[in-house]
A and B are shown apart, each in its own frame.
Chain A
Amino acid sequence: MPSVHVVKPGLLTTVQDRGRWGSQSLGVSVSGPMDSYSHRLANAIGGNDAGAATLEVTLSGPELEFDDTRTVAVTGAEFELTVDGRPVAMRSALDVSAGSLLRFGRRVRGARAYVAISGGITTPRALGSRSTHLPSSMGGLDGRALRAGDRLPLGEPLQSPRPVRRSQPVESSSTWTLPDGRATLRVLPGPQLDRFVRTAWDVLQSAPYVVANDSNRIGYRLVGPSLETPGKLDLISDATPLGVLQVPPSGQPILLMADCQTTGGYPKIAAVISADVSVAGQLGPGDTVRFVGCSTREALSALIAQERSLMAAARL
């Protein structure tokens, strides 16, 4: 079976597809890419279906050696890249052949990059998805991050070759802005906003929050203005969607990300809009984030704009 050889794994590199939907009622997290926009853009440039599995690279990248001729695309966080020692561009269709070595160099900005390989990564599905969920060791390659020496099976590239080969990079899109140490995320009021003190919604938007060191694919611990509730709340646990800002008794919010649990009992003050969750996926420890309220109409417009740019990239 054709495969890609992991020469160096990078800091935390995992297999991700669109996520494990449909089993949250059994306690199974969705997981999937932290930045789904860049994940889909990589598949679009690499000539894959939107559902193909890619590699999510975190902060420092891998070295990958190929077995056969493939098209590769790298999106998301800005890295210096080489193929067989020659610098190559991100967000472009890269041709590799048997023995080619794709090497990630210095990271310029952003936290997570996505590597799409034509044919997609075809590790076995678990409950319908190839996404790696690290806390439960499910999906991906044996439920874990990549290690040196791993071989990842690849699928057959799609039959119809793209009519026009694209070697020029896809322009960075105004519908998704790669954070350079700071980001502004648009939020909608959460279902328990009324459980907080009256000023909490304004406090949330009053100053930036810092992403703490113990932040990961499960969620970001944020340090900043305290979000208070009058007295101790005793809520009945319910569902905890991606992008929700939940607030434990400390008053310091946690932004729930891709690997978050399916349920939780902390009040949810706000939810980051879908289009901006992809931007949040590019934040790392020490980065700052500012929240700004928006309307549901604006949330939908932003998502439609991203969808348009992804469809345009797939057509190129």
Chain B
Amino acid sequence: MSTFRIVPVGDATMVVEFEERIDPAVNARAIAAAEALRAATIPGVRDVVPTYRSVAVYYDPLLTDYERLVWRLEDAIAAPAPAASIAHARIRVPVCYGGDFGPDLPEIARFADASEAEVIEIHISRIYRVFMLGFMPGFAYMGLVDSRIAVPRRETPRVRVPPGSVCVAGVQTSVHPVEAPSGWHLIGRTPVRPFDASRRDPFLMKPADEVQFYPIGRDEFDHLDRAQASR
């Protein structure tokens, strides 16, 4: 079992840190710890937030104190994770790559010394893990992207990119839930919406889910996009 340390962040948050690396096994440990902490329903805890390799626990310092919380945290983390937490979703995401939708595809092809078709092939060849969500509602940090196409983020971020933009930055990949600024490289667009407040479950991707991208043509994109808009 991996080691961890608990560090305070101010007087109302503490962070449980596992090994300092981006690694599916370390991330799985953080997510399991977060689920154990939620299941323990510790009085005074406001929010439990797993990230790449840590779990932040937000608490009300008037309802619980640090030492007591450390004790409860150590207890919850040591306990085996409930079986239900093992099941996570596999999500398939259609992407129309390149062209207007993927203005950075040529640059990544140059970086990889490969054709655009080969870059697409590399991007769809892996099933990505959702390590965490952040930045905005429904924005999933997924990885690990093949190092051949892992271009560092842009020097100058774009002021806004459209919703559904599929992007890459280093070993991370994601789908933009809404129009927003972005320093990531755009390689395509999906008609799928990672966040939709009107959906029964507004969030498509959750921590530990697996995501598989697959290519579609422009006609199919337009068809799915219209179907999405009319829902």
A residues touching B (Cβ–Cβ < 8 Å)? 21-28, 30, 126-127, 135-138, 188, 190-191, 236-239, 241, 243-244, 261-264, 268, 271-274, 296, 299-300, 303-304, 307
Contacts and interface: CB of A to CB of B under 8 A. Distances in A.
Contacts of A263: 49, 51, 132, 134-135
Given A21-B46, A238-B56, A304-B62, A27 B137 contact: yes
Interface in B125-176: 132-141
B149 to A, nearest CB: 20
Q: Which of A27, A236, A272 has most B Cβ within 10 Å?
A: A27
Given A24-B47, A236-B52, A126 B8 contact: no
11 contacts: A22-B46, A27-B136, A27-B139, A191-B8, A237-B132, A238-B52, A238-B53, A239-B51, A263-B51, A273-B10, A303-B61
Contacts of A236: 20-22, 51-53
A25 B52 contact: no
B28 interface: no
Given A22-B46, A24-B47, A138-B197, A190 B9 contact: yes
A136 B50 CA distance: 21
B49 A244 contact: no
B176 to A, nearest CB: 12
B8 A27 contact: no
Contacts of B9: 190-191, 239, 241, 244, 268, 271
Contacts of A28: 137
B133 A27 contact: yes
Contacts of B206: 25-26
Q: Which of A25, A28, A190 has most B Cβ within 10 Å?
A: A25
Q: Which of A238, A299, A300 has most B Cβ within 10 Å?
A: A238
Interface string B176-187: 011000000000
Contacts of B53: 236, 238
A296 to B, nearest CB: 6
A236 B15 CA distance: 14
B16 to A, nearest CB: 10
B135 A303 contact: no
A137 B137 CA distance: 10
Given A261-B134, A303-B61, A24 B21 contact: no
Interface string B27-70: 00000001000000000001111111110101001100110000
Nearest to B14: A191
Contacts of A188: 8, 10-11
A21 B48 CA distance: 10
Nearest to A299: B11
B75 to A, nearest CB: 21
Contact of A274 (B56, B61, B133, B202): B61
A191 B7 contact: yes
A126 B178 CA distance: 17
Contacts of A136: 136-137, 178
A24 B140 CA distance: 12
Nearest to B58: A241
B52 A237 contact: yes
A244 B10 contact: yes
Contacts of B13: 239, 241, 271
A273 B11 contact: yes
B214 interface: no
B62 A25 contact: no
B141 A237 contact: yes
B49 A239 contact: yes
B207 interface: yes
